[in-house]
């Protein structure tokens, strides 16, 4: 039987997802997730009702990528990156928001009102939706041919 070390209640800072959602994100069945828990292959924590939840850090570790964002809205944009706000710099009516999305850092110039309405601050999980009519591609560090 797997050791109970490392199990317990989720800390207030650690973001977790329901076991079923974690299984879907990993592309496995809920039974497989339960078996991995018993075998110690995945770290789970119990919620207040003693149900399994999985820390987001475990999903990232096992999948090698952040979990796919489900925004609940229907948009034509398909380029959605789930991330966490790294910093917010407000200057007048505008703000610069830096988002850490997996291996990427995004910068978004948005209004101060949007920052306040969304309650954006470092550590807040967000989804960046990118919709552009043009994309510029360049090569770094070499002369153009």
Instruction: Give pTM, 2 decimals.
Output: 0.46
For the stretch 50-79, pLDDT in tens is: 999 999 888 888 887 655 555 556 666 667
Which residues contact residue 16 at a Cβ distance below 8 angstroms, ignoring those fewer than 6 apart? 10, 45, 47, 53, 54, 55, 56
Which residues share a beta bridge with 126?
Answer: 83
Q: Assign residue 40 a region: left if phi > 0, alpha if psi is -120 to 50, beta otherwise?
A: left
Spell out the per-residue pLDDT of the chain, length 145, in tens: 433 334 455 455 678 889 998 898 888 999 999 999 999 999 999 988 999 999 988 888 888 765 555 555 666 666 778 889 999 999 999 999 999 988 889 999 999 999 999 999 999 999 888 877 666 666 777 666 6
Looking at every residue in the chain, the average pLDDT score rounds to 81
Distances (CA, A) of 28 to 67, 97, 98, 134, 143: 14, 35, 33, 37, 47
pLDDT of residue 4: 39
């Amino acid at each position: 039987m797997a050791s109970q070390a490392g199990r317990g209640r989720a800390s207030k800072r650690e973001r977790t997802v329901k076991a079923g959602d974690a299984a879907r994100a990993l592309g496995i069945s809920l039974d497989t997730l339960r078996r991995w828990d018993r075998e110690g292959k995945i770290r789970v924590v119990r919620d207040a009702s003693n149900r399994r939840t999985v820390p987001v850090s475990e999903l990232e570790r096992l999948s090698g990528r952040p979990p796919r964002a489900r925004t609940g809205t229907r948009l034509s944009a398909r380029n959605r990156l789930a991330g966490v706000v790294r910093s917010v710099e407000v200057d007048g009516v505008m703000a610069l928001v830096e988002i850490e999305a997996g291996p990427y850092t995004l910068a978004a110039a948005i209004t101060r009102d949007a920052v306040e309405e969304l309650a954006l601050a470092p550590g807040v999980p967000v989804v960046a939706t990118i919709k552009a009519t043009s994309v510029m591609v360049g090569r770094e560090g070499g002369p153009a041919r």
